[in-house]
Amino acid sequence: MKARIKIRRFNPETDRKPYWAEYRLDAQPWDRVLDVLVKIKDYQDGTLTFRRSCAHGICGSDAMVINGRNRLACKVLMKDVGARVTIEPLRGLPVIKDLTVDMAPFFAKYRSIQPFLINDDPPPYTERLQSIEARARFDDTTKCILCAACTTSCPSFWANDSYVGPAAIVQAHRFIFDDRDHGAQVRLAILLDSDGVWRCRTIYNCVEACPREIDITRAIGEVKKALLLGDVE
Amino acid sequence: MTTQTSAMGKTKTGGRFELYAWFFTRATGILFLLMGAFNLIYANLTGGRGHLDVGAQMRWAFFPISSHVSSTSVEVTPNFANPFWQAYSFLLVAFAATHGFNGLRVILEDYVQHPLLLTWLRALLVGIWLFVLVAAAFLVFVLV
Ligand code: FES
């Protein structure tokens, strides 16, 4: 197929504001958008900048806005987006260059919810065992790859970047509902803040954006409920 | 367990206020629809059936004071001069107003970036909200 790719480009060292660059090339229907970006960079314009690492939808490096939706470039096929594609950097995070955004504010939010096991019990000789049911309780939120697609699709986050954002809440959920972890109250106290879960207006953009199909709004709802009842069931 | 400080880079404010506001919004959202439905059923049972147009039905549902619904054939004054219905009507309006103004507060806090402007707009909002409550109390308890 003859593809026409429009990319929102910006180089802070030379450009005063972002502009659209257009590239035409031959693409296969089974090419991923990432393959097309690589082709452009290799054969047409080496200055095009984007992030990618695994190219298999697990590292979370290449979330970007493809035809207006937050997607991983390595998970979208050309046949699904059509021959005319527009690609923009994620919204709500500062652009470093072209499709590369500064993830530092995003990871600061992630760190704020203390995303590590909190358990002062002496570790057992083997591992900390957990029942299958207890593991299933938070299975959905373990799938997060921290690509920022959800947080940067959230109008509450666009409007107010002090909001902790869906990704951080998903990560908090992953520990709050893990019965091996004893830090639930600490994390709940953090999310009780006015910039915590209450800025979620159940808009569901995050659910649509998540490449891992996590039921994010449900997870946020469960955290709200835990805050309301003061209890993690 | 020791409480550790939030790394969101600001001091925490408001405590549990946002939690209560959130719960209040959910609870009153359901409650005032139920209360409205109850008013509506009551009005129709006490003789309104067949005599009320849509506008009157709505006034009956959400703010049934005598000056609102005197044009209908339902006996208003004797029914509504008792403290139960007065309290009921006032609560209905108070819930609706608080629910709505809290929603406006949330929108302001999302979209008004300038702190001083936000403070002024919040104060304005509280003022209008109080005025609505006082006006409702006057209509329900004094004027009926
Ligand atoms: S490159 Fe790793 S998720 Fe797409």
The pLDDT of residue A20 is 97
Q: Which residues of A touch B112 (CB under 8 A)?
A: none
Contact A190 B6 (CB under 8 A): yes
Which residues pair with residue A84 across a beta bridge? Answer: A4
> pLDDT digit string (tens) for A123-151?
899 999 999 999 999 999 999 999 999 99
A188, pLDDT greater than 80? yes
Determine the pLDDT at residue B66.
Answer: 66
Helix (H, G, I), strand (E, B) or coil at B134: helix
pLDDT of A49: 97
Q: Report the pLDDT averaged over residues A148-174.
A: 96
Mean pLDDT, range B1-16, rounded to an integer: 49
Closest CA–CA distance from residue A185 to any residue of chain B (Å): 8
List Cα–Cα distances, A40 to A78, A108, A196, in angstroms.
14, 33, 41
All structural domains of chain A with their residue ranges: 2-101, 104-229
Is the pLDDT at B4 greater than 80? The verdict is: no
Return mean pLDDT, chain A: 95
Q: Which atom of ligand 1 is nearest to the CA of A74?
A: 4
Query: What CA dihedral angle connects A47, A48, A49 and A51, to 10 degrees?
Result: -130
Chain A residues inside the 8 Å CB shell of B16: 192
Q: How far does the CA of residue A41 sit from the closest CA of chain B (Å)?
A: 37
Between chain A and chain B, how many beta carbons pairs sit less than 8 Å apart?
57
Amino acid A137: pLDDT: 96
Residue B2's pLDDT band (boundaries 50, 70, 90)?
very low
Output the pLDDT for position A21: 97
Which residues from chain A sit within 8 angstroms of residue B22, using beta carbons?
198, 224, 228
Of the candidate ranges A32-36, A169-173, A189-193, the one whose mean pLDDT is the lowest: A189-193
Residue B10: which pLDDT band, with cuts at 50, 70 and 90? very low
Q: Which CATH class is domain B17-142?
A: mainly alpha
* CA distance, residue B112 to nearest chain A CA (Å): 9
Sole residue written with tokens 């900048």: A49
Answer whether A33's CB lies under 8 Å from A75's CB: no
Model-level pTM? 0.86
* Closest in A112, A185, A201 to B7, CB measured: A112
Q: Does A161 touch chain B (CB under 8 A)?
A: no
CA-CA distance, B28 to B18, in Å (whole number)?
15
For the stretch A103-129, pLDDT in tens is 999 999 999 999 999 999 998 999 999
Say if residue A79's pLDDT is above 80. Answer: yes
Which amino acid does the sequence have at A4?
A: R
For the purposes of burial, counting CB atoms within 10 Å of the CB of A55, is it exposed (0-12), middle (13-18) or buried (19 or more)? middle
Phi-psi label, residue A77: left if phi above 0, alpha if psi -120 to 50, beta otherwise: beta
User: How many CA atoms are closer than 13 Å to the CA of B67, on its beta-carbon side?
Assistant: 8
Nearest by Cα to B45 from B30, B65, B60 = B60
Contacts of B10 in chain A (CB under 8 A): 162, 195
Question: In this structure, what are the phi and psi dihedrals at residue B72, rounded to the nearest 5 degrees?
Answer: -90, 165
Contact B8 A228 (CB under 8 A): no
Ligand 1 center from residue A59 Cα (angstroms): 5
Q: Is A186 on the interface with B (CB under 8 A)?
A: yes
For the domain made up of A104-229, the CATH class stated in words is: mainly alpha
Confidence of residue A28 (pLDDT cuts 50, 70, 90): very high
Q: Judge whether residue B6 has pLDDT over 60.
A: no
ipTM of the complex: 0.78
DSSP secondary structure of A9-66: E--TTT-SS-EEEEEEEE--TT-BHHHHHHHIIIII-TT-----SSSSSSS---EEEE
Please check whether the domain covering A2-101 is classified as CATH 3.30.450.20.
no
Give the whole-angstrom CA distance, residue A47 versus residue A86: 18
The per-residue b/e assignment along B93-127, b for 16 or more CB within 10 angstroms, e otherwise, is bbbbbbbebbeebbeebbebeeeeeeeebeeeeee
Mutate to test the pocket of ligand 1, among A72, A77, A99, A103 (most ligand atoms within 8 A of CB): A72
